[in-house]
Structures are given as C-alpha cells and as structure tokens.
A and B are shown apart, each in its own frame.
Chain A
Amino acid sequence: MTGREGQSEHPNHRAAGGEGVASGREAAGGGAGWKPAPQDSPRGQGEGKRPRRSGWARAGERVIEGVIRTSGVSAVLFVLAIFFFVFREAAPVLFGGEHFKLLPFLFSVEWYPTSASNVRYGTLALTVGTFSVTALAMVLAVPFGLGAAVFVSEFCGPRLKETLKVVIELLAAIPSVVWGFIGLTVMSRLIVHFTGAPVGVNLLNGGIILALMSVPIIVSIGEDALKAVPDSYREAGLALGATRWQLVYRVLLPAARNGLLAAVLLGVGRAVGETMAVLMATGHAVNLPLGVFDSVRTLTANVAAELGEAPAGSDHYRVLFLTGVLLFSLTFVVNLVADLVIRGWRRK
C-alpha cells in the first residue's frame, strides 16, 4: 500500500509542479538537484556495455547538458532582467520626480498625467480596477471552468470529450482584441438592454469577457490535473460504494487540489495581465467602482493607452513604467501567497 501510494503520488505531484508560475522556483530547484544523475548513470552502466565511448560523444553530452542548464537558468535571468529594465526606466521619477510622491502614487485616485495646472499621478483607482475586474472574472470563471474540467475528465463519453476538448482549445486561440470587440459591440448592447445600466462598457462587461478568456485555460489545465489522479483512486472509491458524485467530491478534488489551484492561478494570471480586451470592454474610466455597472480602468489598459504618446523620458513616461513595476509586484505577491498556500497544504 505504501509503495503504491508513493508511486501514485508522483504523477499528481508533477502535474502540480509542472504548471509554471506558482512553483517555477521549485521546478528550477528540481532541475539542479537532478543534475548528477545523467552524469552518473551513463558512466555506471556504460563502462560495462560500451567501454570505448568516443570523446565526441562525451563532448556532445557536455554540450547538451550545458544547453539544458542554460535554459533552466535563463528563465530566472529573464525575469530578473525584465524587472531590472522596467525598474531602470522608472527609477528617476521615483527618486526625485517633480510632481511625484510615492504615497499619493499608491493611495490617491487622482490620475492627471497631462494636467495643465496640477499634475497628479495617483493609481489607486487603476489598482482597484485591475483587482475588481479580475475578481469578478474569477467569480464567474472558476465554477464554470472547474465544473467543465470535471465533466470533461470524469462524466462524458470519449467522443463528446474529444469534441469538447477541440472546441475549448479553439476558444483559447481567439485573440484578445477579438474578445474586446465582442465586449464593445455585442456584450455592451446586451448589458444595456437587459439591465438598464446607463452604459454598456463597464466592470461587468470586462469581467464577463475576461471570464470567457480564462475559462479555456482553467478547463484544459484542470482536466490535466484530474487526469493525473491515478485510476486506482477511482477504483478504490467505487469499490467502497461511493457514487460518482461522491467520488469527485471526496476523492478526486482533494487529490488534484494542487493542480486545480494552479489552473485557477493561471486563469488569474491571464485576467490580471490582459490588456486589449479590458481596454475596450471596461469603458476606460478612472473611477472607484461602487457596483458592477460602473466603468473602470485597469493598470495594463492605462499603460497601453498612454505609453505610446507620452514623450520618452518625461515624468509621465517614467510613471507609466513605475505602474509596470507596481503590476509586477502585485502579481509577484499573489503568486507567492499561492505558492505558500500550496506548501502549507502539502505539509499537512
């Protein structure tokens, strides 16, 4: 039993660790720990079977090993480099911009980057906009996404399953500007017609569009996580007399917990980082939303709309880069917290 459990724990573990963002650090650590193995095993086995390995083969091995190691390390390097360059563009305004102060930047809603009399850079409304749109999108997307993943993985027949998977992948391939266009034209009219909201491009519109965009990701990764739960779990559950629903609820969901959380986090990542669709669907208004029918503006959309016309090197330009740093930090914190949550669960 113990041996089987150890074995079966393995694929599940991998499914959770493989899904990037949250546990990227772990994957890199795993790579480093793994390094001696390929060196040892060819030598150990090879000396018996193939006593004369040519120097070329060994050199080739070295090169390949080097390439693989570089790719592993480069992931970390790229992230650091991106942060460094974005921060370098932003730094001058942080340490002595004329109209810039850190506290209003973080906690004021007044965003007047090109004011003629009183320039103010407050991003609170944008941060709140980003979080509210993302939260609304997740409230809509997570139940649908996970539900669809459970259905595709556990309940539907093989033919329907293939069809559904193809369609869902097709959904994931729709470019964001097309989603934005749907939000701007179709969705906004529907919202005005059915709810009587004063304007159709608002928080609700952006949330629905983002939910539609993240559901395919949540479904395909969630389904992989469920698939990684070994069949022996299902067999054991059924043998104990569990119904299918009990099996899903009591056995599969807890067993695939990490993978499902990773699926949700990737969905969050897509929603936070999305630019074009929210720019078109949310109304792009600097506004603290009091309800789902208020228009908002997100950090990403603000950068996209303004960076093109901010003169390079001006305070406005640098503050937009600082907005990028802020976004980067926020996503980092979200990922870190999620990572810690996963670790806490594992230890239990």
Chain B
Amino acid sequence: MVGVLAVLLGSGCGRRNQASVVIQNKGSDTMVNLAQAWAEAYREVTTDVAIEVSGGGSGVGIAALMRGTIDLANSSRDIKPREVEEVRRHTGCEPEEVIAGYDALAIFVHRDNPLEVITFEQLSAIFREDGPVTRWSQLGVQVPGCRRDQIIRVSRQSSSGTYEFFRERVMQQRDFKLGSLDMNGSKEVVELVGNTPCAIGYSGMGYANGRVKMLRVAARSDGPAVAPTLESTLSQRYPIARSLHLYTLGEPTGALRDYLDWILSEAGQRVVRDCGYVPVRLGGGAP
C-alpha cells in the first residue's frame, strides 16, 4: 500500500496527475476570460474534470506553477530564462509550453476621437519617459469633448505581462512616462478609455466595446498601417501581436493532457475566436 502511494506520488512531474479531477489553472489577466470560457465549454465535453480558473498576472501564474499549487499556468508572454531556471531548481521539472492562440494588443481611443492611424514612433513619444507628445494637437487632431487637449495615458500596473509586452515591442524597453493611469486589468483600461474622451490606452483586442475605437498601427512611419483583425494577426502583419501560452510542469499526462488536446482541437480554438483572440489555425468557417 505504501509502495503504491509512493509510486503515485513519485511518478511524473505534475501535481497529483493520476487521481486529480480538478485542474487548477491560473495566470495572465489577459487570458482569464478565455480560460474561463474554455473551462465552461469543456464541462460539456466531460463532467469528470473540473477546471478552476483564476487570474493575477502572467508572473503570478508561473510563480504558482513553481510552488506546485496549480497544474496549468496561463501566460501572455514568453517564460523568462530566469523563470525556467527557477522552475527547474524548485521542482526538478522542465516547464512545457503550448501556444493556444494569439493576442493582438489594440491601441484604444474614445470613439469620438478623429484619429485613425498611429505609428510606433508616435506611440513611443506619447508613452515613454521624456517623450515630447502630451497634447492631442501635437498629433494634428482636435478631440471633441476633450476641452484641455491633454492626452490622458491609460496603462497597466508595472507587473502585468501586457505592460512588459508593450514596453518591449513599442518602446524598445524604454520606461513609461510617469503620471499614466495604471489600471489593474485589461477590461478596466477599455472601460476608462470609453468614459474619457481625452484618453489613449492599450489592451487586448478582445476587450473592444462600442464606446472605443481601435487605431490602425504602423510599425514604421513610412510603412503600412494595419488594423487589428484575425487575419492581420495570423499573417503577422499586425505589429503588436503576441502568442498566448499555457505552461505545465513536465510533459502533461492524464486529464491535463486531454484538456490541452481539446484546447488545440477545433472546438477549443472556436472558443479562442469567440473571445476575440486569434486561433492558432483558422479552421473551417473563419471570417
């Protein structure tokens, strides 16, 4: 009996892989809606496995994986080499990565804002430390409802994956200008921009609503401006897109393996598209 237990506990890298019927899933706030939608849809596939989803941020998910409190970590950024090292040291296992979809980071402004196109250079001038652009008139537009012409920058808290991704891709790792409104969630950014005519912010494409407008983005001033859409993300023409990762400890087995396979199946990828993200492969009936 003791031997059997020892084999059960000692085998494999994951947490209680054999007996578990609850999969603990945690991580990126960008992906929390998606992960919940997956969990709900999966309940119709099998009732034997329950998936518990929580957010907190990409870093939180990976840290929890390291401590062994969860089975599956969501991350909207690549795992850092330092984190791989720590996972190895803490658990003796390799983190295994699955790419489950893509996220296009849209640039949001209020729907009354006449601006249509923005370049990386302009974005950087607005958001980076010592960037010279602080007023809408400097971009050549006059925003109705924004009497003082001031650009209100809406950003994310400094530990979020979205913040780091924007800093890396758009601002070449230079720091943000102080005084931006740092929201604690992707949805909050879009909500605030929708309520504030003077605002500009970045957030996941899936969070768009009727009160905001997504700008076309050009990576270079002389290059083409691309709207954030499914195709432009998949074809990698849209410049601020990233992959959505799932991490497990070691090669996944049992229920976890089945779940990951289902996520990559057509049914799972349909959920990705329904949440406003871009599936890994465009199955039948893609728009």
**A-B interaction:** yes
In the bound complex, residues from chain B placing their C-beta under 8 Å from that of A286 are 178-179, 182
Nearest CB on B from A303, distance (A)? 12
A39 close to B (CB within 8 Å): no
Check if B152 is an interface residue, CB within 8 A of chain A. Answer: yes
Q: Give 14 pairs: A residue, B residue, CB < 8 Å, sorted on A.
A: A113-B158, A114-B163, A118-B175, A189-B195, A200-B195, A200-B196, A201-B192, A285-B178, A285-B181, A286-B178, A308-B57, A310-B159, A311-B59, A312-B63
List residues of chain A with CB within 8 A of the CB of B179: 285-287, 295
Point out the residues of chain A lying under 8 angstroms from B138, CB to CB: none
The digit string for A164-201, where 1 denotes a CB below 8 A from any CB of B, is: 00000000000000000000000011001000101111
For the complex, what is the distance from the CA of A196 to the CA of B147, rounded to whole Å? Answer: 7
Chain B contacts with A in 97-150, Cβ cutoff 8 A: 146-148, 150
4 further interface pairs, Cβ-Cβ under 8 Å (given A114-B164, A201-B181, A285-B181): A198-B146, A284-B157, A284-B183, A306-B158
For the complex, give the distance between the alpha carbons of A196 and B150 in Å.
12
**Interchain residue pairs A-B with the least CB separation, the first 6:** A309-B159, A116-B173, A287-B179, A198-B198, A114-B158, A283-B181
Check A111 for interface membership: any CB of B closer than 8 A.
yes
Chain A minimum-CB-distance residue to B176: A112
Majority SS of interface residues in chain A?
loop
Contact present for A199 and B199 (CB under 8 Å): yes
| A115 interface hit (Cβ, 8 Å) | yes
Whether B184 lies near A305 (C-beta < 8 A) is yes
* Contact between chains at A309 and B175 (CB < 8 Å): no
Interface size on A, as a range, is 20 to 34
Across-interface contacts of A111 in B (CB, < 8 A): 178
Q: Is A295 a contact of B159 with CB atoms below 8 Å?
A: no
Residue A2 at the chain B interface, CB threshold 8 Å: no
Query: Is A299 among interface residues, defined by CB-CB distance under 8 A?
Result: no
* A279 at the B interface (CB under 8 A): yes
A125 at the interface (CB under 8 A from B): yes
Q: A285-B179, A285-B181, A306-B158 are in contact. Are A199 and B198 (CB under 8 A)?
A: yes
In the complex, the chain B residue whose C-beta lies closest to that of A316 is: B159
Contact A309 B196 (CB under 8 A): no
Whether, in the assembled complex, A41 has its beta carbon less than 8 Å from a beta carbon of chain B, the answer is no
Given A112-B175, A284-B181, A285-B181, A308:B147 Cβ within 8 A: no
Contact residues in A for B232 (Cβ distance below 8 Å):
none
CA distance A201 to B157 in the complex (A): 16
> What's the minimum C-beta distance from B97 to chain A, rounded to whole angstroms?
20
Cβ–Cβ < 8 Å partners of B20 in chain A = none
Verify B178–A109 contact, CB threshold 8 A: yes
Taken together as a complex, chains A and B put the C-alpha atoms of A116 and B166 apart, in Å, by: 12
Most buried by A among B63, B164, B173, B181: B181
In the assembled complex, the Cα of A183 lies from the Cα of B230 at a distance in Å of 36
A110 within 8 A of B: yes
Q: CA A308 – CA B159 in complex, angstroms?
A: 9
A243 at interface (Cβ–Cβ under 8 A)? no
With A117-B175, A285-B182, A286-B179 as contacts: A309 and B57 at CB distance below 8 Å: yes
How many whole Å from B247's CB to the nearest CB in chain A?
A: 16
Asked whether B174 is an interface residue with its Cβ less than 8 Å from the other chain, the reply is: yes
B248 contacts the other chain (CB 8 A): no
Assess whether B175 is in contact with A115, with CB atoms less than 8 Å apart: yes
**Chain A residues in 8 Å Cβ range of B57:** 308-309
Does B167 reach chain A (CB closer than 8 Å)? yes
Q: How far is the CA of A113 from the CA of B164 in the complex (A)?
A: 12
Interface assignment of B33: CB less than 8 Å from any CB of chain A: no
B153-180 CB mask vs A (1 if < 8 Å, else 0) is 0000111100110011000011100111
Does B218 sit within 8 A of A, measured CB to CB?
no
Whether B60 is near chain A, meaning CB under 8 Å from some CB there, is: yes
CB-based nearest B residue for A309: B159
For A188, give the chain B residue with the smallest CB separation.
Answer: B195
| Residue contact A192 to B195, C-beta cutoff 8 Å | yes
Query: B276 at the A/B interface (Cβ < 8 Å)?
Result: no
A192 to B181, CA, bound (A): 16
Complex alpha-carbon distance, A279 and B157, angstroms: 12
Report chain A residues within 8 Å CB of B160: 309
